[in-house]
Amino acid sequence: MKKDVVVLGEVRGGRVHPVTYELLAWGKELANKLGTGLSALVLGYNLEQLEEIIYYGGDKVYYFDHPKLDTFNVEIYADVLVPFIKRLEPEIVLAGATTTGRTIMPYLAGKLKAGLTADCTSLDIEEETGLLLQTRPAIGGNVLATIKTPYCKPQMATVRPKGKKPLERDTKRAGEIEIIRPQINFNPRIEILEIKPREEEISLVDAEVVIAGGKGLKDPRNFSLLFEISKLLDSSAVGASRAVVDMGWIEYPHQVGLSGKTVNPKVYIAIGISGAVQHLAGMINSESVIAINKDPEAPIFQVADLGIVGDALEILPVLKRKLEERKR
Amino acid sequence: MNIYVLVKQVPATDKVKIDETTGTMKREEVEAVINPLDLYAIEASLQIKELYRGDTYITAISMGPPKAEEVLREAIAMGCDSGILLSDRAFAGADTWATSYTISALIKKLKPFSLIITGERATDGETGQVGPSLAGQLDLPVVTYTSKVLEINEEYSILERETEYGTEIVKTKLPGVISVTKAIGEPRLPTLRGKIKARNTEIGVFDLERLGVRSEEVGLSGSLTRVVKVFYPKISRSGKRIKARNPEEAVDCIIKFLEERGIL
């Protein structure tokens, strides 16, 4: 009898973070294929609304409640999770490819001697073996690799945020919430002294329109054009390819792609971006794509709904002017 | 204070070619460079050397083919004191678990230390898993996404780390593992004195025998994950492509597209 598929809930600032609901959507698909249940492990203190996890697809929530679990601390999390995972023996453990997931998962995998695949963009179950097939961009994002963990359990993976929409919230779903009050009676070597919350900018991942620039912009100063156009469109933000971030044209938080953010806006406008797989990994789930590029062979055109072969530096000033005229 | 910095030689990713029949990278045709993000790990170790008042000795460690000793010399040219290369055919094909295991075996053989420093991730594998996995295997505390070293002494270090939800100030007892991001500061350039030293320093090499591990514990056979398929993604929206005669025409198409989707 196969054991459960487990997702590791993400908690930020005393609340269950929506990444958790995306993980439940991934996990549900796998659990259905395996014919198993879907459980969530959630660590926190005085957390509320855990039933939301059931509404979004979880069958069982194991909630670990302790003042020391109030903020993420890799050592304390591992102290709670290692023995629990050993006892639960899940088939699969999924977490978000966030700073938290990308810290706790390899730490756990190191302690559990479990195979772990980073930053997956798609997950499936191999029919013959029931093993987890984990697909992720590889070799600098130039190809996709499918990876499995054939010999040991659990099969662990971190999954890109925004790669899948949460399931429809269903308040009629039934499930079980078990509250566990763990003993944490060791002195952790790591201590979080202070958290300075980040100012919320117009988040790239939540924007309805993303205007992203690449090397075709020719000069870092031309990024200002993108920001000016972005100001003329509601709910829009500026993105960038890795190449230009690496060259220092724009800061890392704007980077879209495998090693940056994943976005799925209504419209993604790729300007002077050739479309390496590394970049496509971060925007392929956009609802629609406009590409502007001089090179008619640029791979970005293969994923575009509207492809314009032309010089971005000639087109952008006109676009800006026409948008300004409309505003008036 | 003893510091180990982990560095990796990677293909210059923009120029990677894939063998379509085997799905593996044509390594011989690609220029190999030091993982650009590891330069920040080296930079962090040198900043600590300046910050800490006592003696500091920095050893760069890499795993790879004999050619990978180039990256260790580069680290020495920047200011590291010595280099150790884990190199053996048996180490090839290691996943992040087996890589961490091999490095942990080396660390156990070396002198006691205060810190192991890694970059955020390597630009070829892009996993960022080796630092935390190594910490897990050695049962050490780990601080990831470190953006600043605020304080360090024999007992503990106070670090700043960047997350999606804000900046954390973290105190960790030593010894420990940290991974650093680009925010640590621009890596310094090699000095002339460093380059001369790099040329004259003997790189210590550990093979399977010297490391004292069994071949089935390392490399591909020690790996817990297996790559089953490598492929070029087939993604196509078969969208409309226009060759605009002039910018005006192109912009009209864009605006119409945005209108149709309710953006304008």
Q: Which of A16-25, A170-179, B72-81, B224-233 has the lowest mean pLDDT?
A: B224-233
Tell whether the model's pLDDT for residue A125 goes beyond 70. Answer: yes
pLDDT, average across residues A140-148:
82
User: Which of the four pLDDT bands, split at 50, 70 and 90, describes residue B19?
Assistant: low
CB-based burial, B139-153: b 16+ in 10 Å, e otherwise: ebbbbbbbbbbeebe
Q: How far is B150 from chain A (nearest CA, A)?
A: 12
Q: Which of A288, A285, A293 is nearest to A313 (CA)?
A: A293
Q: How far is B152 from chain A (nearest CA, A)?
A: 14
Tell me whether B150 touches chain A (CB under 8 Å): no
Nearest chain A residue to B227 by CA: give it.
A147
CB contact under 8 A, A143 and B11: no
The distance from CA A130 to its chain's CA centroid, rounded to whole angstroms, is 25
Tell me whether B224 touches chain A (CB under 8 Å): yes
Q: Which of B253, B259, B258 is nearest to B240 (CA)?
A: B253
What share of chain B has pLDDT > 90, as a percent? 78
Residue pair B186/B55 in contact by the 8 Å Cβ criterion: no
Q: How far is B249 from chain A (nearest CA, A)?
A: 9
CB contact under 8 A, A116 and B133: yes
Do strands B226-231 and A143-148 pair parallel, antiparallel, or not at all (unpaired)? Answer: antiparallel
Tell whether the model's pLDDT for residue A305 goes beyond 70. Answer: yes
Tell whether the model's pLDDT for residue B136 goes beyond 90. Answer: yes
Tell whether the model's pLDDT for residue B13 goes beyond 90. Answer: no
Q: How far is B4 from chain A (nearest CA, A)?
A: 19
Give, as one character, the DSSP assignment of residue B25.
B
Q: Which of A97, A44, A53, A30 is nearest to A258 (CA)?
A: A97
Q: Specify the pLDDT at position B206.
A: 98
Which among A143, A193, A278 has CB closest to B18?
A143
Q: Report chain B's mean pLDDT, rounded to a whole number.
A: 92
Structure tokens at A325: 């005229």
Tell whether the model's pLDDT for residue A3 goes beyond 90. Answer: no
Which among B123, B164, B241 has CB closest to A99?
B164
Nearest chain B residue to A200 by CA: give it.
B165
Give, as one character, the DSSP assignment of residue B221.
T
CB contact under 8 A, A142 and B18: yes
Whether residue A299 has a cis bond before it, omega within 30° of 0: no
Query: Cα(A35)–Cα(A31) distance, rounded to whole angstroms?
Result: 6
pLDDT, average across residues A192-198:
91
Half-sphere exposure of B77 (CA within 13 A, CB side): 17
Tell whether the model's pLDDT for residue B232 goes beyond 60. Answer: yes
Q: Specify the pLDDT at position B110.
A: 98
Structure tokens at B163: 């997350």
Which among A13, A74, A246 has CB closest to B142?
A74
The distance from CA A185 to its chain's CA centroid, rounded to whole angstroms, is 33
Give, as one character, the DSSP assignment of residue A175.
-
Nearest chain A residue to B134 by CA: give it.
A110
Nearest chain B residue to A292 by CA: give it.
B250
Tell whether the model's pLDDT for residue B14 goes beyond 70. Answer: no
Best of B100, B114, B129 to disrupt the A interface by mutation (most A CBs within 10 Å)?
B129
pLDDT, average across residues B171-190:
96
User: Which of the four pLDDT bands, split at 50, 70 and 90, describes residue A328?
Assistant: confident
Tell me whether B26 touches chain A (CB under 8 Å): no
User: Which of the four pLDDT bands, split at 50, 70 and 90, describes residue B118?
Assistant: very high
Q: Specify the pLDDT at position B20.
A: 57
Tell whether the model's pLDDT for residue B124 goes beyond 90. Answer: no
CB pairs under 8 A between A and B: 277
What share of chain A has pLDDT > 70, as a percent? 97
Q: pLDDT digits over A209-258, tens only?
A: 999 999 999 999 999 999 999 999 988 999 999 999 988 899 888 999 87
Query: Cα(A91)–Cα(A36) distance, rounded to whole angstroms?
Result: 9
Structure tokens at B110: 């070396």
Q: Specify the pLDDT at position B263.
A: 86
Tell whether the model's pLDDT for residue B154 goes beyond 80. Answer: yes
Q: Specify the pLDDT at position B16.
A: 62
Q: Which of A183-192, A212-221, A259-268, B200-209 has the lowest mean pLDDT?
A: A259-268
Contacts with B182 from chain A: Cβ below 8 Å: 252
pLDDT higher at B231 or A80: A80
Q: How far is B201 from chain A (nearest CA, A)?
A: 31
Sheet of A209-213: strand order equals A236-240, A209-213, A267-271, A289-293, A306-309, B240-243
Give, in order, the Cα–Cα distances in Å from B93 to each of A189, B29, B119, B121. 34, 18, 21, 18
Q: Which of A255, A141, A249, A240 is nearest to B13 (CA)?
A: A141
Q: Report chain A's mean pLDDT, rounded to a whole number.
A: 93
CB-based burial, A33-42: b 16+ in 10 Å, e otherwise: bbebbbbbbb
Q: How far is A17 from chain B (nearest CA, A)?
A: 11
Q: Specify the pLDDT at position B90.
A: 97
Q: Specify the pLDDT at position A282.
A: 86
Q: Specify the pLDDT at position B153.
A: 96
What share of chain B has pLDDT > 70, as a percent? 91
Q: Which residues contact B104 (CB under 8 A, 6 or more apart)?
A: B134, B137, B138
The distance from CA A235 to its chain's CA centroid, rounded to whole angstroms, is 20
Contacts with B262 from chain A: Cβ below 8 Å: 266
Phi, psi of B87 (to 5 degrees): -145, 120
Q: Specify the pLDDT at position B18.
A: 61
Tell me whether B196 touches chain A (CB under 8 Å): no
Per the rule left: phi > 0, alpha: psi between -120 and 50, beta: everything else, B139 is: left
Q: Which of A221, A267, A238, A290 is nearest to B250 (CA)?
A: A290
Which among B14, B134, B142 has CB closest to A103?
B142
Q: Specify the pLDDT at position A80.
A: 98
Whether residue B247 has a cis bond before it, omega within 30° of 0: no
Tell whether the model's pLDDT for residue B223 goes beyond 90. Answer: yes
Contacts with B243 from chain A: Cβ below 8 Å: 296, 309-310
Nearest chain B residue to A306 by CA: give it.
B240
pLDDT, average across residues B108-123:
96
Structure tokens at B226: 């297996």
Tell whether the model's pLDDT for residue B64 goes beyond 70. Answer: yes
Tell me whether B54 touches chain A (CB under 8 Å): no
pLDDT, average across residues B237-263:
86
Q: How far is A120 from chain B (nearest CA, A)?
A: 10
